[in-house]
């Protein structure tokens, strides 16, 4: 007959998959995100999506294929689906992590004048564009107090080019009553060094915007791990 008064096992002494997951949760809650390695962060992100599967091998397979945590959650869904045992539920869990990170950063930008938080702008752009496989041209539209009105992707292109049309940029700014812009595009190669074409395109947009009293504050070129500001580089 079982001893009804026996002490329950301490959480840290739990064994098996359930114990492993419990200990990871406790480490996260006690020590914060820095207490977990990349593969452990991925394991935890996949716990609820794959409740009957050992997510450690899946997490390690993701890192082996894509390189690091940011590259994993930023990878295209079609490529993630090629990882064995991940499935649609696992992909959705990873994309939720990416969406949550981007939303937190974007909300922070919306709370204060954008130009007062240059590091926040760069962090946000890296989060939403840094892992893209094709070029994406994005605009942050600002009001006369430099607060964010809208953040829009204007075009997607190839691995080496995304079209940007000055007339369309100005037209959209007028529709939103924007008085200033921050332009951004990514380099899928990972190297954010601006090209001559990047500089020329920026100058074309700057001239077109100026005719309508709209200021182009900057053009940010986004790589996988860093960004380059054309204004800081004195190219604008």
Per the CB < 8 A criterion, the answer to whether 229 and 195 are in contact is no
**Strand runs labelled E in 143-222:** 148-156, 180-186, 215-222
Phi (first) and psi of residue 215, to 5 degrees: -100, 135
Q: Sign of the C-alpha dihedral, residues 218, 221, 224, 226?
A: negative
pLDDT of 43: 92
Residues 50 and 155 in one domain: no
Q: Sign of the C-alpha dihedral, residues 195, 209, 108, 101?
A: negative
pLDDT of 7: 43
In a domain, 5, yes or no: no
Q: What whole-number distance in Å separates Cα of residue 86 and Cα of residue 46?
A: 9
Residues 51 and 143 in one domain: no
Residues 138 and 169 in one domain: yes
pLDDT of 53: 85
pLDDT of 120: 87
Strand partners, 223: none
Phi (first) and psi of residue 65, to 5 degrees: -80, -40
Block means of pLDDT (10 residues each) for the chain, length 236 residues? 44 59 85 87 90 90 94 93 94 95 87 78 92 92 93 82 88 97 94 93 95 96 93 90
In a domain, 146, yes or no: yes
pLDDT of 32: 82
Q: Which residue has the tokens 């997510």?
A: 55
pLDDT of 31: 85
In a domain, 69, yes or no: yes
Residues 39 and 94 in one domain: yes
Three-state secondary-structure class, residue 200:
helix
- Characterize the bridge pairing of strands 136-142 and 180-186: antiparallel
Q: List helix spans (H) across 15-165.
A: 16-31, 38-47, 55-66, 69-74, 77-80, 87-110, 118-129
Q: What is the CATH number of the domain that holds 201?
A: 3.40.140.10
In a domain, 3, yes or no: no
Per the CB < 8 A criterion, the answer to whether 179 and 148 are in contact is no
In a domain, 60, yes or no: yes
What are the structure tokens assigned to 82, written together?
A: 């090629």
pLDDT of 107: 87
pLDDT of 15: 56
Residues 208 and 119 in one domain: yes
Strand partners, 148: 142
In a domain, 234, yes or no: no
Residues 25 and 50 in one domain: yes
The predicted model scores a pTM of: 0.79
Residues 86 and 38 in one domain: yes
Per the CB < 8 A criterion, the answer to whether 196 and 161 are in contact is no
Provide the domain count of the chain: 2
Per the CB < 8 A criterion, the answer to whether 91 and 77 are in contact is yes
pLDDT of 157: 76
Q: Which domain holds residue 184?
A: 112-229
Q: What whole-number distance in Å separates Cα of residue 187 and Cα of residue 136?
A: 8
pLDDT of 3: 47
pLDDT of 42: 93
pLDDT of 51: 87
Per the CB < 8 A criterion, the answer to whether 150 and 160 are in contact is no
């Amino acid at each position: 007959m079982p001893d009804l008064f026996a002490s329950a096992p301490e959480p840290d002494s739990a064994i098996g998959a359930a114990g492993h997951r419990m200990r990871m949760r406790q480490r996260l809650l006690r020590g914060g995100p820095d207490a977990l390695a990349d593969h452990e962060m991925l394991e935890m992100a996949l716990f609820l999506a794959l409740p009957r599967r050992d997510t450690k091998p899946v997490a390690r397979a993701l890192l082996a294929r894509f390189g690091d945590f940011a590259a994993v959650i930023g990878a295209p869904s079609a490529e993630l689906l090629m990882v064995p045992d991940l499935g649609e539920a696992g992909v959705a869990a990873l994309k939720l992590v990416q969406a949550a990170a981007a939303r937190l950063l974007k909300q922070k930008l919306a709370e204060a004048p954008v130009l007062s938080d240059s590091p926040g702008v760069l962090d946000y752009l890296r989060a939403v564009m840094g892992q893209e496989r094709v070029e994406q041209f994005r605009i942050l539209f600002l009001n006369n107090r430099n607060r964010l009105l809208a953040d829009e992707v204007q075009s997607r292109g190839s691995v080496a080019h995304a079209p940007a049309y000055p007339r369309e940029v100005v037209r959209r700014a007028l529709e939103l009553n924007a008085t200033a812009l921050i332009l951004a595009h990514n380099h899928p190669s990972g190297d954010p060094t601006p090209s001559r074409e990047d500089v020329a395109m920026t100058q074309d947009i700057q001239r077109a915007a100026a005719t309508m009293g709209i200021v182009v504050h900057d053009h940010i070129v986004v790589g996988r791990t860093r960004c380059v500001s054309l204004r800081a580089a004195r190219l604008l």
